[in-house]
Amino acid sequence: MESNRKKLVVLTGAGVSAESGLRTFRDMNGLWEEYKVEDVASPEGWHRNPELVLRFYNERRRQLQNAKPNAGHTGLAELERCYDITIITQNVDNLHEQAGSTKVLHLHGMLTKVRSSVDERLVYDIGYKDINLGDRCEKGSQLRPHIVWFGEAVPAMDLAIDIASEADIFVVLGTSLNVYPAASLYRYIPTHAPLYVIDPSNDVTVSSKGNRVTYIREKASVGVLQLMEILLKECQ
């Protein structure tokens, strides 16, 4: 029964997709797949050179088309057998969905969607197709990637906070917790909720106000298996 199941909320970042061949951001000295982050992930970059920005996301979309979920993604999908799971992801890929997770909230948008550059409510699915200069929305404005760039508001954040504040268990997976507001999400969880942090880097720490915190210093594929061992035992 849905209502008896514990609410497991997982905040994921680029690290969960690293073993699927998609690179993380902050290990590249400010470069993201050879591009400067501020050139391809800011409104200023878009105004300076929209062609470069479109090319960058076209490349990311093609790369995603060939990427497969890894054991981190599939393990989280399997946990739905026992838990009412919501994944709140900072990732713009669709690998959680490909793995079979059914409730995924994208904080920073999705590669497979585009939107109008004058009306952010006009969002379109484009799958893995390119967008180019001259491709327009129904109001006649240039289409842009449906991605939340640095300096832009995060419209899904309020919903994410509501979800986090009802968590029975919260997991932070594969994120450096460097980018706000996403990085503050775990602070909204109830104090009774255990908090798990899965990341190979010792730099990723949380400051908890009383929650029991467990660090699993492993890659996503190994760390999620360890988490499953703990959580599936508890739900039997």
The verdict on whether 96 is a catalytic residue reads no
Catalytic residue chosen out of the listed positions 47, 108, 146, 192? 108
Rounded Cα distance between 178 and 181, Å, is: 9
Contact 84, 109 (CB under 8 A): no
Per CB under 6 A, the list member of 49, 58, 165, 176 interacting with ligand APR is 176
C-beta closer to ligand APR: residue 43 or 200? 200
Per CB under 6 A, the list member of 8, 9, 11, 14 interacting with ligand APR is 14
CA 178, 181, 182 angle in degrees (round to 5)?
70
Contact residues for 158 (Cβ-Cβ < 8 A; gap 6+): none
- Total residues in contact with ligand APR, by rule CB under 6 A: 21
Tokens of 172: 């932070």
Tokens of 29: 């000295």
Contact pattern from residue 68 through residue 87 relative to ligand APR, giving x for each residue in contact according to CB under 6 A and a dash for the rest: --------------------
User: Is 194 near ligand APR (CB under 6 A)?
Assistant: no
How far is Cα of residue 221 from the mean position of the Cα atoms in its chain?
16
User: Is 175 near ligand APR (CB under 6 A)?
Assistant: yes
Among the listed ranges 2-10, 22-30, 111-119, 226-234, the one in contact with ligand APR (CB under 6 A) is 22-30
Residues constituting the chain:
236
C-beta closer to ligand APR: residue 137 or 219? 219
Burial class (CB in 10 A: 0-12, 13-18, 19+), 70: buried
User: Is 156 near ligand APR (CB under 6 A)?
Assistant: no
Among the listed ranges 49-57, 130-138, 187-195, 197-205, the one in contact with ligand APR (CB under 6 A) is 197-205
Rounded Cα distance between 80 and 210, Å, is: 27
Name which of 50, 37, 25, 233 is nearest 132 in CA terms.
50
Name the closest residue to ligand APR (Cβ): 15
User: Is 220 near ligand APR (CB under 6 A)?
Assistant: yes
User: Is 215 near ligand APR (CB under 6 A)?
Assistant: no
Output the CA–CA distances (angstroms, integers) from residue 42 to 12, 24, 116, 150, 206, in the order listed: 22, 17, 16, 5, 28
Give the interface with ligand APR as residue ranges (CB under 6 A): 13-15, 18-19, 24-26, 90, 108, 174-176, 178-179, 199-201, 204, 219-220
Q: Mind telling me the catalytic residues?
A: 108
